[in-house]
Amino acid sequence: MEETKQFKITTPVAIIIAGFLVMVGILLTNGLGERVVKEKTLSEQVGVSKDKLSQCLDEIDAEALTKKISTDVENAMKGVPDDQRGTPYTIVIGSNGVKSEIRGSLDYDSVKKVIDEVISGTVTQKYEGEVSAVNADDHILGNPNAQVVLIEYSDFECPYCKKFQATLNKIVTESNGNVSWVYRHWPIHQNSFEKLAAAECVAKIKGNDAFWKYSELLFGLLKTSDDSTIDQL
């Protein structure tokens, strides 16, 4: 007669099984698909609570903010025909008073070329608009007294702006304080106003550094125009 083999559960195996059963119990208790730990919103990731963000958004005068942005954009782009306007749009201003422009998302080398032209005083694409001077309400990355200032008009829902964001980050980082970057809003895509309003609230509550960190997170949300991301702000 063949001897019956017995399987003995060792202590380590018993611990693993017990842990697995506990995990299954937790999942069942929470509905099999619901996350036990809820992810932080973007504002919470930069130190702004949902309550504070909501309160600030409720207090924003959307009509006044829209008018302010529209007036600023219109003045800045006076030299650009309506059918050639789009995001991103960047004005390159040298401390020598020379100005040029960048239409669209150029690569690193092309942006560097425009900057070098402005510094030398001889530009290929002369700026013809009436951009407003950098002021206390602006969001500035880099040295405020830099030799060259890049004033970018951008949209958090624009894929080209997302790509250009990385390029300008590299430009400023590698400039050794010679180039600064000013971010200004131009909301021309769906849901972009909600995002810029949230970014303005983050800046108001937490300051300039938080604005730039939050901007990176907002561009990180950008996937398709059909994505609903407002609840993640």
Domains of the chain as residue ranges with CATH: 42-232 (3.40.30)
pLDDT tens digits, 30-82: 444 444 346 889 999 999 999 999 999 999 999 999 999 999 999 999 999 99
What is the CA 116 to chain-centroid distance, rounded?
27
Peptide bond into 88 cis (omega under 30): yes
Report whether 121 contacts 98 (CB < 8 A).
Answer: yes
Cβ atoms within 10 A of the Cβ of 160, count?
A: 14
Report whether 122 contacts 154 (CB < 8 A).
Answer: no
Quick one: which of 99, 186, 215 has its CA closest to 149? 99
Q: What is the pLDDT of residue 126?
A: 95
Q: What is the pLDDT of residue 222?
A: 65
Report whether 89 contacts 160 (CB < 8 A).
Answer: no
pLDDT tens digits, 129-182: 999 999 999 999 999 999 999 999 999 999 999 999 999 999 999 999 999 999
User: Whole-model pTM?
Assistant: 0.81
For tokens 């529209």, the residue is 70
